[in-house]
Structure 1
Amino acid sequence: MRKMIRVTLLLILLLSITTGCWNRQELNQLSFVMALGIDKHDNQIELSAQVANVGEIGMGSSSERGTSVTNFHVVSPTLYEALRKMTSHAPRELYLSHLRMLVISEELAREGVRDVLDFFMRNEQMRPDYFVAIAKDVQAKEILSTLTPTEKIPANKLYSSLKTSQNLWAPTIAVHVDEFVANLVALGKEPVLTGLKSNGELAVLRKDNKLKMTDAPVGLVFTQLGVFRGDRLVGWLNEQESKGYNYISGNVKSTVGDVLLPDGGEASIHILRTKSKVTAAMKEGKPVFTVKLQVEGDIGEVEGSIDLTKSESIYLLEQVMEKKLKEGLQVAVSKAQKLEADIFGFGEILHRSDPGSWKQMKSDWPSYFVKSEVIVQVDAKLRRTGKVSSSFIEELKKKTKE
């Protein structure tokens, strides 16, 4: 009996060891896809893949070395077929688990992205931790063909830039593919995606020797938010409207805002903390939403004669700050209503607070959203003025007048 138990335990141990690598793939047999770009090409799609050249990544700087990535492009009726077709161009099997960025062209986004996203959600090889962005005023393949001066793999640069920008700059937001799809299918909410564009002539940075310049002649920047209604891109929020959206949605972690002073000067405020709350109610058969925004910040820079040692000066700055923030939130709501896209999820909030009213409105929510009243309340507090309470600039002005 003991012998049988030992044999059984030994077999179990052997099975646990031998089955762990049945689907093992050697690194030298794989091409790691870091970014994918999707464009329209007549009635088909053009798929672009940015593949890491593993042998080049670890090499030191050299005028003879190649680029750290290679791009492949194929045209096909479907994404699934395009990916298989691309294996005739790539030297190894394409491996998608390390994907960092998915860039969709504006043209394709305006026609609808559901078929594209269906492929990405079904693919078992892909992890949902990559970001999605819209190529604004440029093709997605052009974005992938642009080298970056501070990162060997452009896709990694785009990923880290968007992640950092989301935390430090209010107009942008980093959206994973599963988050986008969740908002896409949610009742009472529409999704947004950050736009990606060039700030110059893209062809300039395609040659690796340009990366040796201290001032990069061109680059890729995340800018504005694309608004979707259903699976179609219907418009863009400008910088102020994008900020307003992120404030209402509670996405702002830290950012900087400028306010005009009564004397014509200007102050820069470092926003440190924000808290947003939206409530819903019905008034005479019409939805009414109240947005309450609390903001805390420090004074980062002052160009003017305001005396920050006086409490009334701080109060004045807070009032000016509240007014500007309120305007930003209001224009964001107005733009969303103009596009008939409830990107704030007001419908979801109404559903939770008044299920009966939502049941009557959900089938035609966009038209109710457009007619909804939105009340904005902002409470801004300034905590610190920096190391100095008054700027030396005023003393310098007095000196030059004497």
Structure 2
Amino acid sequence: MKNFKKIIILSLSSFLLASCVETQAIEKIGIINARGLDITDEDLLETTLVTFQFTPDSTEMTKILSGKAKTVKGATENAGDAFLYKLAPGKLKLSVIGRDLAEKGILPLLDTSARDARIPDLMYLSVSDTTAKELLSIDEENIATDIGQYLHGLIANRSNDHNIPRKTLQDFLTTYYDVGQDNVLPIFEIEEDMPKLSKLALFKGDQMIGELTSDEATLINLMERTVKEHHLEVTLPLAPFKDHLEEREKRPQETEVQMIFVIDKGHSKTKVLDEDQLVFQTDTTLRLRLLEQSAGIVLKKSQVGKLIENEVKKYMEDHFDKLLAKLQKLESDPFGYGRIYKSSQKGKNLTVEEWRESFPTIEVKYNVDVEFIQHGVID
């Protein structure tokens, strides 16, 4: 009997407590799915919000809102003034930053978002080559779905394929405050009224200072994680393969061969060789399957596989060297050599200023070990 009374008391208490919590019917709120941030000519922040609304009498579930103010919160509230119901940012999956704003610096915006408990830490960050407003205003008839979901899906799919790094709000801030590495973010372009991902925004601190191609993005990925099932396209000299070409009646005077591989597995390890002279060594292992090649190279002989391994090795090492030189000129270290150096300096502190001064002078010896394991479709 006593247990029964306890159950009754607990049930009544739960009911009374639940009745004290303010509830909101889903029909009375607008769920923010994605947002864009731009800087205006008046030096104001403009936010563009992609919202879901579940109003029964509405013909459209998605509504695009826009507002301007001096702060992100103020711009969001200004956008909400044109909306009948309360805005809810708890399901915000994607934040798109216009190029002009990204080049000016985004830390104040991200810091504000991180302090707002309603903003998810796992929200993806990206940059728009145009304004964020233009990107988020693409006609949804072209993509057959909500623009916020579509853009979020592009990043998720491309990052799963290791074509681009995926960066959340939490990831960006962690890298920013960890001395010795700089951030990259995916860039959205608009091509024939369709959004497209093909480049990376390169950051120095919180400012975008350049771009990386998709090929350069692959090198960044190989430094950061194990890469699997990713396409790698290379251009190799044809001369080493001249004795292994199939006979063709009319062979064009080619000097190069295009090859497309699948990276079965690829990863890198870096160590410090000389702490005083700042000399590093990065060892990259690539296991490749050939999908296609343009010159009709006969692949039956084992020595052809060795030639491919040797030429891809030289190609990759050369591209690592060129990318490092580009990054040193821009004074941005997305490879994270500063972080690796810092971890080798037990008990010593490395400041941002010290690494900015040192990074352009470092030397890296790249060693790429290539294993050609099989081939598929050719020519």
TM-score range, shorter chain: 0.7 to 0.9
Shift of 1:327: 2.2
In 2, Cα distance between the equivalents of 1:377 and 1:97? 46
- Do the aligned residues in 2 keep the contact of 1:243 with 1:328 (CA within 8 Å)? no
3-state secondary structure, aligned to 1:344: coil
Pick closer, same or farther for the CA change 1:311–1:25 going to 2, 3 Å: same
Shift of 1:8: 4.2
1:359-374 correspondence to structure 2 within 5 Å: 359=349, 363-374=353-364
Which residue of 114, 129, 138 maps to 1:146? 138
1:252-331 correspondence to structure 2 within 5 Å: 252-259=227-234, 260=236, 262=238, 263=242, 264-282=256-274, 285-331=276-322
- Do the aligned residues in 1 keep the contact of 2:35 with 2:48 (CA within 8 Å)? yes
The code of the aligned residue for 1:282 comes to D
- Do the aligned residues in 2 keep the contact of 1:245 with 1:329 (CA within 8 Å)? no
Query: CA offsets per residue over residues 328-375 of structure 1, 9 Å max, x none?
Result: 22222222211112212212211222225x536665111111111111
Query: CA offsets per residue over residues 69-89 of structure 1, 9 Å max, x none?
Result: 221111111111122222210
Q: Which residue of 2 aligns with 1:33?
A: 32
Which residue of 9, 12, 18 maps to 1:11? 9
The code of the aligned residue for 1:40 comes to I
| Range with bigger deviation, 238-247 or 367-376 | 238-247
In 1, Cα distance between the equivalents of 2:64 and 2:174? 30
1:87-166 correspondence to structure 2 within 5 Å: 87-136=80-129, 138-148=130-140, 149-166=142-159
Shift of 1:67: 5.2
Shift of 1:53: 4.4
Pick closer, same or farther for the CA change 1:110–1:175 going to 2, 3 Å: same
The code of the aligned residue for 1:32 comes to I
Q: Which residue of 2 aligns with 1:224?
A: 199
Matched, 1:180 2:172: yes
In 1, Cα distance between the equivalents of 2:53 and 2:144? 14
In 2, Cα distance between the equivalents of 1:321 and 1:274? 13
Shift of 1:287: 1.3
In 1, Cα distance between the equivalents of 2:145 and 2:55? 12
Q: Which residue of 2 aligns with 1:205?
A: none
In 2, Cα distance between the equivalents of 1:91 and 1:10? 41
In 2, Cα distance between the equivalents of 1:330 and 1:20? 62
The code of the aligned residue for 2:274 comes to M
In 2, Cα distance between the equivalents of 1:291 and 1:319? 18
TM-score, with normalisation over the residues of structure 2? 0.87
Pick closer, same or farther for the CA change 1:300–1:18 going to 2, 3 Å: farther
In 2, Cα distance between the equivalents of 1:241 and 1:277? 18
Pick closer, same or farther for the CA change 1:382–1:54 going to 2, 3 Å: farther
The code of the aligned residue for 1:71 comes to I
The code of the aligned residue for 2:361 comes to K
Q: Which residue of 1 aligns with 2:181?
A: 189
3-state secondary structure, aligned to 2:167: coil
Matched, 1:250 2:225: yes
Q: Which residue of 1 aligns with 2:250?
A: none
TM-score, with normalisation over the residues of structure 1? 0.82
- Do the aligned residues in 1 keep the contact of 2:342 with 2:350 (CA within 8 Å)? no
Q: Percent identity?
A: 21
In 2, Cα distance between the equivalents of 1:360 and 1:221? 38
3-state secondary structure, aligned to 2:288: strand
Shift of 1:250: 2.3
- Structure 1, unpaired ranges of 5+: 60-64, 201-217, 394-402
Q: Which residue of 2 aligns with 1:396?
A: none
- Do the aligned residues in 2 keep the contact of 1:241 with 1:335 (CA within 8 Å)? no
Figure out how many residues of one structure are paired with residues of the other and give that number: 359
The code of the aligned residue for 2:175 comes to N
Query: CA offsets per residue over residues 120-168 of structure 1, 9 Å max, x none?
Result: 11222222222110111x1110000013434411111111111111232
Shift of 1:261: 5.3
In 2, Cα distance between the equivalents of 1:352 and 1:247? 20
- Do the aligned residues in 2 keep the contact of 1:337 with 1:370 (CA within 8 Å)? yes
3-state secondary structure, aligned to 1:221: strand
In 2, Cα distance between the equivalents of 1:134 and 1:143? 10
In 1, Cα distance between the equivalents of 2:166 and 2:294? 33
3-state secondary structure, aligned to 1:102: strand
In 2, Cα distance between the equivalents of 1:156 and 1:336? 33
